[in-house]
Structure 1
Amino acid sequence: MGFDQRFTIGLIAWIAALAAALLACVAAFATPGLGAARIVALAIAAGTFAGLWAHVTRTNRTIARFLEALKFGDTMLRFDARGGAGFGELGGSLNEALARFRSDQDRLSGELRYLDALVDDMPVAILTVSVAGNVTLANKAARRLFAGEHGTLPEDFAIYGATFAQHLANASQSEALLILNIAGRSQRMLVRAATLERLGQRTRAISVQPIQGTLDAVEMAAQTDLVRVLTHEILNSLTPVTSLAATAADLLGDADLTADPRIGDARSAVETLARRAKGLSNFIEAYRAVAHTPEIKRQRFAARPWTDELARIFVAKAPEVPLSVHVSPDTLALDGDPDLLAQVLINLLQNAAQAMSAADRPPRLALRLLGDGQATAIEVEDNGPGVPESLRQDIFLPFFTTRAAGTGVGLNLTRQIVVAHGGAIDVTDAPGGGALFRIVL
């Protein structure tokens, strides 16, 4: 890389001027009686040397200011190569390099903004734990999931589960299936941990993925498949029994055989067998409804008039049971199938009324719909005998019932409808005694 032409001409001129000034100084000192001329010659020589020095160092100063600006991140600066400051080719190359650097910086900034937005909008909750042990909710899903009051240390998250807090404090990389207390109910979560390098420091990233809905859906699918296979096989075996029993009953009803009393007994037994086989076929056919996943026809509808209509239907069926209804906020809207959800609530209300009928205190039944903008909780609370903790999972199984006249289908269908809506249902003890069924959509 050579000197700029103007810089070279200027340099030669300054050197020639300095040489002439030095020659003048030599001549002045060599000639006697020129004291003033000597002073003038020295001043000219000094000024010429200063001009030469400024001309030579001007480019260095320009480059120094240029590099100092880069040091503080000012990528908008341009190298000034005008006015013979020198190194025009250098200035052009530096400006070109700076333009590329600025372009790469803009590209990397855009990529970083994209990655930040991607992480922030991920459906899986992500938490980060610094070397000092500070926990940060890193994206929207984490802020929604852990919306309650908590601090920034692992032990502060013990309100969601002691095991989860230990997992945050543990420095190992692991994967675990944990049960967390979220929004007042237990949910199974898949928790994964990984260690990353960030700005020279090790940071742990914790992902928390709710899988309760997926597990519920898989469980319901397994149940419906099992019921479908069982009913199919039982009906296939029972159909010929029913047909043969009916045929045998007809044959034994021949008038020529009625004289023998044993034939009459045999005919009565076969007719009984035919009736029971037919009744069992009808019974199994009715249960085949459990094997069909309900088809959801979603729509958005106002909760208040829908709930008022449910209350009127229930009061018409059970006027002796007082029902209180609470909807908050009053403008709450639901996204789902209004007919199937109505079937769910009517079933829960009727079950509650039947449970309270055997109690020795006045019945009390409440229906509440509570929305917070992210989820809707539907609660049915009664003051009956409640559901024993040992049976709280079994009551949602197909054909399981604790009532002599029960079929064991209602609560299973209720759960199927709720799970098909992407929600969950569970039962706990009511604060004042009784059962509290809670549906979260």
Structure 2
Amino acid sequence: MHDTLLVVLTVGILFVVLAIALVLLPRLLREKEKPQRVTEMDMMLASFQTMGSELKALKEQLVVKERLAALGEVSAGIAHEFRNPMSVISGYARLLLKSLPAEDDRRELAEGILQEIGSMNGVMTELLSFSRSEPIQKTSVPVQALLIETMRGFPDRQRIHSAETGTLQCAGDATLLRQALKNLAQNALEAGARDVWLRAASGEMSGKKGVWLTVQDNGPGLDEAGQEKIFTPFYTTKADGTGIGLALVQKIVLAHGGTITVESRKGEGALFRIFLPSDGA
């Protein structure tokens, strides 16, 4: 009798526990699913926000590319129209210089004409460089060699500094990338910077893997208005500037599928950041 009562009590307790489990378990499962659903919803919203940001960036890049392409055509036309009469003027100035005796004061005038024609030719060369839209021939570029070769293009190399990048590689056209870095460094020096630093590191942007190239200087810096216009073709703050150098840098970066931004404050130098995505990223 005692054993029977014990069995009955045990079975009763088991039924009570089972009943409680049947009542509470669905509620607990529902409570557990809520954070998961919230997490999934957050992930979905984050994905849509990322897509929206990428679409906005692509739209802005497309607008910039179209504007640069139109300006490139205009630049090419201007360069060709000016170069023909410039060649004629240069030819007559050289003939005049040859016909004048060494002690003739008019030689200085002829030499001045040739010097100005030389400066104009430099501007025309920049215009033609800006107008070209040749396809990018991407290869695997050793970043360390890219930075070193960029430094070699400056007579005063002590003012250009680069960091060790090891075996880091980037996908791109070495000649065009070197020109972009050189233009950024040259612009900084001409603006009054004492030193320029070239750096590189692997990284990501909007989920894409690639390489960050940075050019930093300790020059006079830019205000907000200057930062907004810095890549605008023909915008310059220098008396003898053409406003093409940085526009060409932006064109080269966009042709590589990359992005370029500037961070600066007046009196605190500037930092240009270039992101080059890896092929297939």
TM bracket (short chain): 0.5 to 0.7
Asked if the contact 2:75/2:131 (under 8 Å) is kept, the reply is: no
Using the alignment, how far apart are the partners of 1:411 and 1:309 within structure 2?
19
Partner of 1:226: 71
Deviation string 1:248-300 (CA, Å, 9 cap, x unpaired) is: x9xxxxxxxxxxxxxxxxxxxxxxxxx9xx89995774423322224311001
Contact 2:202 2:211 (8 Å CA) reproduced? yes
DSSP-derived class of the 2:230 partner: helix
Contact 1:398–1:409 (Cα < 8 Å) also in 2: yes
| CA positional deviation for 1:376 | 1.3
- State the shift of 1:409 in Å: 1.2
Q: Is the 8 A contact 2:143 2:169 kept in 1?
A: yes
Matched, 1:323 2:161: yes
Higher relative contact order (CA 8 A, sep 6+): 2
- Taking the TM superposition and a 5 Å limit, the aligned residue runs for 1:389-400 are 389-400=224-235
Shift of 1:356: 3.0
Q: How many residues align?
A: 212
Q: Deviations over 1:371-423 (max 9, x none)?
A: 03712111111111112210113221221111112111111111110000000
Structure with a larger share of its residues in helix = 2
Cα distance change, pair 340–231 in 1 and its aligned pair in 2 (3 A): closer
Counterpart of 2:236 (choices 396, 401, 411) is 401
Point out the more displaced range, 400-409 or 285-294: 285-294
| Equivalent residue number for residue 21 of structure 2 | none
1:297 alignment partner, SS class: coil
Calculate the aligned-residue CA RMSD, in Å.
4.1
Contact 1:385 / 1:434 at 8 angstroms: preserved in 2?
yes
Residue in structure 2 matched with residue 212 of structure 1 by the alignment:
57
Counterpart CA distance in 1 for 2:196 and 2:203 is: 23
Query: What do the CA deviations read for 1:2-49 (whole angstroms, capped 9, x no partner)?
Result: xxxxxxxxxxxxxxxxxxxxxxxxxxxxxxxxxxxxxxxxxxxxxxxx
Q: Give 1:347 deviation, angstroms.
A: 1.3
Equivalent residue, structure 2, for 1:384? 219
Aligned to 1:291: 131
* 1:326–1:367 Cα contact (<8 Å) kept: no
Q: Which amino acid aligns with 1:288?
A: L
C-alpha distance in 2 between matches for 1:417 and 1:437: 14
**Structure 2 matches for 1:20-419, cutoff 5 A?**
132=38, 135-137=41-43, 142=47, 191=52, 209-229=54-74, 232=77, 285-286=124-125, 287-311=127-151, 313-314=152-153, 316-327=154-165, 330-357=166-193, 363-372=194-203, 374-419=209-254
Secondary structure of 1:356's counterpart equals coil
| Sequence identity (%) | 29
Q: 1:212 to 1:131 in 2, by over 3 A?
A: same
Q: Distance in 2 between matches of 1:410 and 1:378?
A: 17
Q: Is the 8 A contact 2:160 2:195 kept in 1?
A: yes
Deviates further, 365-374 or 343-352: 365-374
**Residues 228, 288 of structure 1: 8 Å contact kept:** no
Q: Give me the TM-score of the superposition, normalised by structure 2.
A: 0.61
Structure 1 unmatched runs, 5+: 1-128, 146-163, 165-188, 192-207, 250-274, 358-362
Structure number with greater Rg is 1
